[in-house]
Amino acid sequence: MSAQKGKDLLLKAADGGGAFVTVAGLRARQIAFNAEAVDVTHSESAGRWRELLAGAGMRRASISGAGIFKDETSDALVRQIFFDGAIRNWQVIVPDFGTITGPFQLSSLEYRGDHAGEVTFDLSLESAGQLTFTLL
């Protein structure tokens, strides 16, 4: 995979009507996958090396983004999802890689503004169920 433009990594939220709305104005975005290890080391483990149980740990994904809302539709949708405490489907489109889709809870929504600058926001999402991956 060759270098990709960061602006092409898209974050989309389900609008409740079956469509996905791109969260506009994101200047930075990130997705992280994590899996917990389950240690099954015992007194007879070879060389006393740690042993892990494959496929047993909890997996999760976190998404974060920061930017400016440039679009009333996505601003209103994200704000409503947060205040409803709703778990919605979200998509992350990674160029030349694929699309990750699944339920997430909007766990943090922060606004800030500098005296001589625009209002910006930060958001964080935590996975709330099984995710799917589709190749592009």
pLDDT the model gives residue 112: 92
Mean pLDDT of 2-19: 82
pLDDT the model gives residue 72: 87
pTM of the model: 0.85
pLDDT the model gives residue 7: 67
Four-way CATH pick for 6-34+60-135: 2.40.110.10, 2.40.50.140, 2.60.260.20, 2.30.110.20: 2.30.110.20
Whether the per-residue pLDDT at 71 is higher than 90: the answer is no
Query: What does the DSSP assignment read for 23-89?
Result: -TTEEEEEEEEEE---B---TTSGGG---B-TT-S-EEEEEEEEE----HHHHHHHHHHHHHT-EEE
Mean pLDDT of 50-63: 93
Interval 95-105: pLDDT, tens: 888 999 999 99
Q: How many helices (H) and strands (E) does the chain have?
A: 1, 8
Whether the per-residue pLDDT at 4 is higher than 80: the answer is no
Average pLDDT, the chain: 91
Mean pLDDT of 77-90: 95
pLDDT the model gives residue 88: 96
pLDDT the model gives residue 1: 59
Whether the per-residue pLDDT at 130 is higher than 90: the answer is yes
